[in-house]
Structure formats: C-alpha cells, structure tokens
Amino acid sequence: MPKRLALLLVTASLLLTAQTTPQPPRPAPDTAPKTYTLPPEKLQKAIDYGNIRNRLHFIEFFYGVAVLAAILKLRIAPRFRDWAEAASSRRIVQAYVFAPLIVAATDIPSLPFELYRHHIGLKYEQSVQGWGSWFWDWTKGELLACALAGLLAWILYAAIRRSPRRWWFHFWLVAVPIVLFIMLIEPVVIEPMFFKFEPLEQKHPALVSEIAKVTRHGGLDIPASRMFEMNASEKLNSLNAYVAGIGASKRVVVWDTTIRKMTTPEILFVFGHEMGHYVLQHIWMGVGVAVLVILLFLYLGYRAMRWALDRWAGAWSIAGVEDWASMPVLLLAVAIFSFVSEPLMNTCSRMLEHNADIYGLEAIHGIVPNAPEVAAHAFQVLGEISLDDPNPNPFVEIWIYNHPAISDRVRFASQYDPWSKGQPPKYIP
C-alpha cells in the first residue's frame, strides 16, 4: 500500500500474458477456434483459480486500508517521525529514515498475502520459482521501494513546506521527469535485477528473420538490437511479450517460454501485437495518462489531507500537513482514489490492447497463412495456459481486467477479415 504513491510514477508495461508447462512445439492449427473453451479437467481449475485471484484483489485493498488506518489510529507514524528527527537534522536523512519505516509498517503486515499468492501460483502451476528465490526477489523489490519512497518523501515535503496550498502542483512538476526517467532505466537497470536478458538474434536468428518480414510489412524499422529474449522459465510457466522503455531504451521483449510453447506463426502474431503498441504510440499514451492521473491524485490527496487533518490531526498526533507523520493520510487517500479509478483505467487499457490485437492481425496478413486462425488459436493457447475463465463475472471483468477477456479475443480474431469483405484495414493498408 505505501508503494502506491511511488507506483503512480511508473507506467505499467503492456502485456500479453499466459502460462503453462514446457512442451514441444505444436503444429499450426487447421481451423480456428470460434469460441474459447477449456476441457472439463481444466475448466473447474480455471474457475477456482480465477475466484481466488479476484477475491484476493479486493481483500488486499481493504486490508491495506485497514493497516493504514491502524497506523494513524495507533499513532505509529508520529513515533517514526520522532525517530527520524532524532537521527539527523537534515531533511533528506529524515526522509530516508521515515519513509522506509512506513514501507515496512505497511508491507510486512501484507507479506502473508504475498506468500499466499506465490503458494497459489505454485499450486496452479503458474510458477516454478523456489521459495528462496522468491523471497530474494521480494527483498529486492522492497529495497527498491524504500529507495524510491525516501526520494519522493524528501521532494514531497520540501514542496509542502515551500507552498502549503500549491505543493501538489509543484510536486507534480517534479514527478513528470521522474516518470520519464524510471521508464527510461527500467528495461536496462531494474528488470535485469530479476531476469536475464539476451539478444533475440543471438539464439533465434531464424525467428528474427521472420520478425523482420512483419516489421517491413508494418512499415516500421525495429532493429534486431532492440529485440530481447527474457529467461522467464527459471521462475514462471508463463508466455509473455511486451514493449518497455522509451527512446534509446525502448525494446521488445519475448519470454523464452513463449518461444518454446508457441509455433512461429503464433509468435509472429504476438510480436505484431507488441509492434502495434510501438506504432500506435501506446507507450506515450500511457505516459500522458500517467501524468494526468498523478496530477489528479495529488490534487485530490491535497484536498483529502486538509479535510482529514482539520478533523483528526490532534487525535493522530500530527502537527500539520508539513509533518512527516501526515504521509499515511496521503497514502490512504491515494490508495482509495486508485482503487475507485481501476474500472476506468482498465477500460482504457482494454481498448489499447484490442487495438493492438487488430494491428497484430493486420501485420501478419499475407505473411502468415490463415492469420485469423493463427491469432484465434494463439489466444486459445494463452487462455488454456493461464487458466482464464471462459465466462468471467462481468463485474470482475470491468473492474480488474486490463486486457479483453480471452473469450472476446478468440471470437474477434476468428472473425476479423476486412480483406475478404472488400473493406479497408484499420491500420496497415
């Protein structure tokens, strides 16, 4: 929960995800699935797995709110403030004492949920990562969160002290370049801390040659030097591909499990989907949305802090908005606003993913025989492996899903054929 303010400064990677166990390459399908279905032994498993994940999503939110409320009610934040001020008179030192303590006070109580989520991943064969490796990754994530939280806290409260009524805007002006910087370094600094990356051309030159055909068809020059294979199989049974970075760090990443478990035509469709994110400027759209959302949440946080502190500052032993101890109030407000905005944000994400699906179909048209069949079958495989529910609850779909339901993607892919209908394609002539 305390990471929410930090996470607002990072635009999420656009994913095309699925999961399974390693298996030999499959032959290309003869016919496209018209609907997404699961065999009986997998159907109930998918329903159970989806129900667990969905319940966990909502339970974790309310639990996190309760933890932050307890921190305020029990006056834990003022104690952390006193320790920070006793440690040094320098504000940046105080920030790096106080903020990590808040991170620990919120994340450690939430650790059982993280442990349970990994347990479920292992139980449903979504993960193969050992507990030691998992805990080391969790520790690295916490250390990164503490480092970022300390920096943000220092900047935030400097802005509050200088402009008690306009701090949300001044902090936003600093947050925007932080967003861009994190996006720039994430693929080359942060992600390699958790996974190994190798040039795709180095291990799969034939695949790169096929990918080059797709890029030429799409009129986009993506050099092989920006295509990478990620060694996911050491930790996950997932198939994944995504676009990350900006400028010189922009790259397309394909997981090794995707290469092992999909046919070449299916991989080309997945790549075409990811190339669509490039061409259609989805990364910069994400940046734009993130920038606006940060501004909105900071302003709402400012209003919420004034309202809450006017009423309960004394009960919480908080001297004012400039007091380090006010941070849980802002975190609580941002957490609530983030949760409430999930349906809107995920709706926007589903639209972008749908457009990337269209682009992927058009990118492989004329290169891959029976492109709709290939794309539809790829989604069928993705759904089977990730144990996607064929009939998700509409409320859950609207609130949680950041990609269209697999059922909808299979149906659309199998039917998208503007060429035979004499209609112009949406993106690629």
Q: Are 75 and 317 in contact (CB under 8 A)?
A: yes
Tokens of 304: 């919420």
Residue type, 270: V
Alpha-carbon distance of 262 to 26, in angstroms, equals 7
pLDDT at site 140: 97
Task: Quote the CA–CA distance of 358 and 347 in Å, as a whole number.
Answer: 17
**pLDDT value, residue 7:** 39
Q: Which residues contact 171 (CB under 8 A, 6 or more apart)?
A: 155, 156, 159, 160, 298
Pick the closest to residue 32 from 414, 386, 424, 418 (CA basis). 414
pLDDT attached to residue 33: 62
Token representation of residue 276:
């669509």
For position 13, what pLDDT does the model report? 33
Domain layout of the chain by residue ranges: 4-415
The pTM of the full predicted model, rounded to 2 decimals, is 0.87
Per-residue model confidence (pLDDT) at position 94? 98
How, if at all, do strands 197-199 and 238-244 pair? unpaired
How do beta strands 227-230 and 251-255 pair? parallel
Over residues 374-420, the pLDDT tens digits come to 999 999 999 999 999 999 999 999 999 999 999 999 999 999 999 99
Residues of the chain with pLDDT under 50: 1-30
